[in-house]
Chain A
């Protein structure tokens, strides 16, 4: 256990990160920022996994492995998303989410 820190401190941090991520995903227009917000949401979940594993089942490792998987998938997702954003930028010289509506109609 980490001295002076209870499970609640960690959960408050992860909850804050999650909602900051959700708010950023909804509010921001810049595609890069939206991607960052998604990463924040993912990382808050990673923290949750680790914290619950550590505090509730300290002799097991599933939470750790799950976290590693999430980080790996997040990296892959980020690379795909950035590739998309670069392509969008090449096309419309802009990465504003409002302007990416060519496929809509």
Chain B
């Protein structure tokens, strides 16, 4: 057995980097913090690759095992309730290690160029390192409680980084929104964890996900409101996962989160943190599959609905980062569908494997899309499509890499997205036709909106630029090229040999009946975008007018934000919060203020007594004595 104890360093290095740059970064030249962060991440990246190699390829066994190199007792609340902190290595966590460190490392390099000269450069790097540490801790968690802690930590980092430009009111509002929405969802996660551990008496993933274990036997009969207790627990945990992964109806925070710097969007809101929800479901997959299949298929439907819903919105948006944000929602929906339709063991585990595969390829191509979008914004100084056009001549490297990522997300072979998306579709086809058709249509919409974006930016009208856009510096283009290579060739990684719900690899075969139609609809989407946006014309305008109200509703994101505002402002604030606030302000505060006011009034009246004049005191004293003497004489004498 290989010694994996060095994996502990993978999260610890970013933590140390965070501590040092956070404490001393202000005193150093900004670039020093950036370089320290980048070098630290480079080491973590190398170690992750080493771990991935040793775990997957060095041992030639038929199946993989969970390895726990470290597991410290952290909180010993009672003999039966103990919480550990540790490192768990199994196929999905090792894969996530590689994904997180790769994207984080690329983002670190990229930010050296993108954030150059930005105020708070050191702060930015400190937060990036903290985030990387938290995310790595999350994926390596040995128990669900450790996972929850890191869940909250990544949420806090997300808040800090979205609000990085804290002088911009919209960024502050977006940060607050993201934090509140995910926090609200995390409440569900916490309650779910508590229910689950209350009945099973353990937090450990090892024990929880052991198929055929007996810890669930005495939960079986319990139910609440017609739904079994275990379903409640797993459903609530999924609510937390949906909050982090921005599934409908918790998706509202993600598009606003684009107020953060673009590298942050690439790292947190495209590749790593938002897939934490998918990862959670995958981690607890055996429980979902064996004990609460109803919740699992519910997850599939939520994912399917979100993917279609977000893809439709993405068509109408003009802010390039927002298009990508909705695209992220849609792709995460795909992963949820993959998990929802998956079975356990052998070929039935295809959906699970495909979801993890898609997570991997999506991290590469969506990270790339965001970084390329950052390079475009860097060159044009605008987020809006109307300010772009014809950029292929000015930004050749960005153009090629963006094209690679667009082809990957559209599922065109041989790019990475093709393999993973195709396997999700295949898994859905075999178990749930409704989800299959939803995802099939979504695939077409996906390729349409992404090529709408592509043609609008790089082709379309010949915009006259005030400053000639220049290609980004080398430290920004190298990550782009690296990720473009990953997006192009990443699909050839034999994932089915590596990842399976029961950790026993299985063989997959290509089903032409699914491959051909999915490639066809991808090409159809591209063709549609080609016709509408390749050359400047007025067809999109006409379609907009023709669609009328339907277009407006979509452009306004189906008024979900407005509904949320209505519920919170009109109902919760006006009907509940305001009366409570009135009671607090007038009754509770009034009582306390009254006590204070009476004391002040009385003391104002009697403060004249204390003059400090000795003679006056003597007079009072003597007068008092005389009064006493006279009284005594009168009554006693």
Which residues on A are within 8 Å of B, measured CB to CB?
22, 25-27, 34, 97-98, 101, 104
- Contact flags B606-637 to A (C-beta < 8 A → 1, else 0): 00000011110011001000000000000000
Name the contact of A22 in the complex, choosing from B612, B613, B614, B622 (C-beta under 8 A).
Answer: B622
Which listed residue (B614, B619, B622) contacts A97, Cβ 8 A? B614
A33 to chain B, nearest CB (A): 11
* Bound CA span A14–B546, Å: 119
Is there contact, CB below 8 Å, between A26 and B618?
A: yes
Cβ–Cβ < 8 Å partners of B619 in chain A: 26
Which residues from A are CB-within-8-Å of B622?
Answer: 22, 26
In this complex, the member of B612, B615, B618 whose beta carbon has the largest number of chain A beta carbons within 10 angstroms is B615
15 residue pairs of the A-B complex, CB under 8 angstroms, read A22-B618, A22-B622, A25-B615, A25-B618, A26-B615, A26-B618, A26-B619, A26-B622, A27-B615, A34-B615, A97-B614, A97-B615, A98-B613, A101-B612, A104-B612
The 7 closest A-B pairs by CB, nearest first: A26-B619, A104-B612, A26-B615, A26-B618, A22-B622, A25-B618, A97-B615
Q: What total of A-B pairs shows CB separation below 8 Å?
A: 15
Query: What is the chain A residue whose CB lies nearest that of B619?
Result: A26
Tell me if B's interface is mostly helix, strand, loop or mixed. helix
Give the docked Cα–Cα distance between A25 and B612 (Å): 16
Residues of B within 8 A of A27 (CB): 615
Interface residues on chain B, number (Cβ under 8 Å): 7
For the complex, what is the distance from the CA of A101 to the CA of B613, rounded to whole Å?
9
Question: How far does the alpha carbon of A25 sit from the alpha carbon of B617 in the complex, in Å?
Answer: 11
Which residue of the partner chain B has the closest CB to A105?
B612
Question: Which A residue's beta carbon lies closest to that of B622?
Answer: A22
Report how far A98 CA is from B618 CA in the complex, Å.
14
CA distance A78 to B195 in the complex (A): 86
List the B residue with the shortest CB-CB distance to A101.
Answer: B612
* Docked CA distance A98–B619 (Å): 15
Q: Which residue of B lies closest to A100 (CB)?
A: B614
Enumerate chain B residues within 8 angstroms of A97, measured Cβ to Cβ: 614-615
Q: Which residue of B lies closest to A22 (CB)?
A: B622
Q: CA–CA, A100 to B458, complex, Å?
A: 90
In whole angstroms, what is the CA distance A97 to B615 when docked? 9
Bound form: Cα–Cα A27–B613 in Å: 12
Contacts of A22 in B (CB 8 A): 618, 622
Task: Give complex CA distance A25, B620 in Å.
Answer: 12
Most chain B CB within 10 A, of A22, A98, A101, is at A22
The residues of B that contact A104 with a CB separation of less than 8 Å are 612
* Bound CA span A24–B615, Å: 10
In whole angstroms, how far apart are the Cα atoms of A41 and B615 in the complex? 15
**Chain B contacts for A34, CB-based, 8 A:** 615
Instruction: State in angstroms the CA–CA spacing of A26 and B618 once bound together.
Output: 6
Assembled-state Cα–Cα distance A34/B612 (Å): 17
Of the listed residues A26, A97, A98, the one surrounded by the most CB atoms of chain B closer than 10 A to its CB is A26
Q: How far is the CB of A60 from the nearest CB of chain B, in Å?
A: 28
Instruction: Give A103's nearest chain B residue, CB to CB.
Output: B612
Could you tell me the distance in whole angstroms from the C-beta of B522 to the nearest C-beta in chain A?
A: 87
**Residues of A contacting B614 with CB < 8 Å?**
97
A59, B613: Cα distance in complex, Å: 46
> Please, how many angstroms separate the alpha-carbon atoms of A96 and B622 in the complex?
22
CB distance from A52 to the nearest CB of B (A): 19
A26 nearest in chain B by CB position: B619
Chain B's closest residue to A29 (CB) is B615
Q: Which residues of A contact B618 (CB under 8 A)?
A: 22, 25-26
Report B622 CB to chain A, min CB distance, Å: 6
A74 to B160, CA, bound (A): 79
**Chain B residues near A26 (CB-CB < 8 A):** 615, 618-619, 622
Min Cβ gap A41→B in Å is: 11
Minimum Cβ distance to chain A for residue B616 (Å): 8
Q: Which residue of A lies closest to B613 (CB)?
A: A98
Q: Which residue of chain A lies nearest to B615 when distances are taken between CB atoms in the complex?
A: A26
A101 to B614, CA, bound (A): 10
Tell me the minimal C-beta distance from A102 to chain B in angstroms.
Answer: 11
Q: In whole angstroms, how far apart are the Cα atoms of A34 and B619 in the complex?
A: 13
